[in-house]
Amino acid sequence: MKKVAVVGASGYTGRELLTLISRHRGMQATEVMTARPGTQPEPPQFPTDPILAPLDLTRLKSCDGVFLCTPHGAASAIATAALEHGCKVVDLSADFRLRDPKLYAEVYGSPHPAPGLLQEAVYGLTEHARAAVSKARLVANPGCYPTSVLLPVLPLLQRGMLDDNAPIIADSKSGTSGAGKNPGERTHFGNVHENFCAYGVGVHRHAPEIRQEAGTQRIVFTPHLLPTFRGILSTIYLTPKPGVTADAIRVCLHERYAHEPFVKVYAQGWPELKCVQHSNHCHMAVGASGPLVVMVSAIDNLVKGASGQALQNMNVMLGLPETEGLQ
Active-site residue numbers? 144
Give the DSSP H or E segment for 129.
helix 126-135
Residue 101, classified by CB atoms within 10 Å of its CB into exposed (0-12), middle (13-18) or buried (19+), is middle
Q: Positive or negative, the Cα torsion across 157, 163, 164, 166?
A: negative
CA 107 to chain centre: 18
Please give the Cα distance from 226 to 233 (Å, whole number): 10
The one-character DSSP state at 278 is T
Name the residue among 48, 59, 58 with its Cα closest to residue 22: 48
Instruction: Give residues with Cβ within 8 angstroms of 234, minimum separation 6.
Output: 145, 148, 149, 152, 170, 171, 172, 173, 296, 297, 298
How long, in residues, is the chain? 327
Q: Which residues of 206-237 are buried (b: 16+ CB within 10 A; e: fewer)?
A: bbbbbbbbbeeebbebbbbbbebebbbbbebb
Residue 86, classified by CB atoms within 10 Å of its CB into exposed (0-12), middle (13-18) or buried (19+), is exposed
Residue 173, classified by CB atoms within 10 Å of its CB into exposed (0-12), middle (13-18) or buried (19+), is buried
Q: For the chain, report the end-to-end CA distance as a whole number of angstroms.
A: 19
Residue type, 34: T
Please give the Cα distance from 181 to 189 (Å, whole number): 13
